[in-house]
Amino acid sequence: MAGERLTEPAETASVQWLLLVYRIPSEPTRLRAAVWRRLKSLGAVYLQNSAAALPSSDSAERALRRLRHEITEMDGSAVLLSCSALVGGQDVFALFQAARDSEYEEILDKCRDFHAGLEKEYAAEHFTYGELEENEVELVKLRNWFGKVKARDVFGAPAEAATREAVEACDKALEAYAARVYVEAEGQ
């Protein structure tokens, strides 16, 4: 879905949706969990139990077709529909936006944790290459996570800008910490 940003999110009546309606055997429960995780990773929102929607795109359709095939191989059943909302489109749109904002909020929490971790290193005067490397790994995880959520955010959820700025602030904070690590390393 990356690069397939829709241009008029306010006109939700014209949004085309892909709707996956499925049924999976109740046992083993890991099958249900696997489908739920896959739909969540795609950015789908549940309209009700076993009915998940995604904004229509070629990549979303391919992913849902693959998932439908996997569900049928689990001895389940699934139908994939292409549709638009006759009424209630605003509700589906709002649900999709809320799901993205929730994901962005999780990233914002991790950004706060990232800064707190750096502050702890400063307070302990712990300026080592090992700590720098650990923090670089955490920043890469944050960037990748943000990239995945942004790719699913086809309507431009409200929290995207604040999250982008928070990730950029983490980048700047790490640069400042790295500079201090280099100064301390040269001073030894």
- Give the residue from 132, 140, 112 showing the smallest Cα distance to 174: 132
What is the chain's mean pLDDT, rounded?
Answer: 92
Q: Which of 105, 112, 114, 163 is nearest to 134 (CA)?
A: 114
Q: How many helices (H) and strands (E) does the chain have?
A: 5, 4
State the pLDDT confidence band at 9, using cuts at 50, 70 and 90.
very low
pLDDT value of residue 186: 86
Any idea which residue has 């290193």 for tokens? 121
User: Whole-angstrom Cα distance, residue 112 to residue 106?
Assistant: 10
Q: Rounded distance, CA 76 to CA 81, Å?
A: 17
Mean pLDDT in residue range 52-78 = 97
CATH classification at residue 23? 3.30.70.240
- Residues 129 and 179 both lie in one domain: yes
Query: Does the residue 4 lie in any domain?
Result: no
Domain count, the chain: 2
Measured CA distances, 148 to 40, 101, 154, 164 (Å): 12, 13, 11, 12
> What percent of the chain lies above the pLDDT cut of 70?
93
Domain range for 132 is 97-187
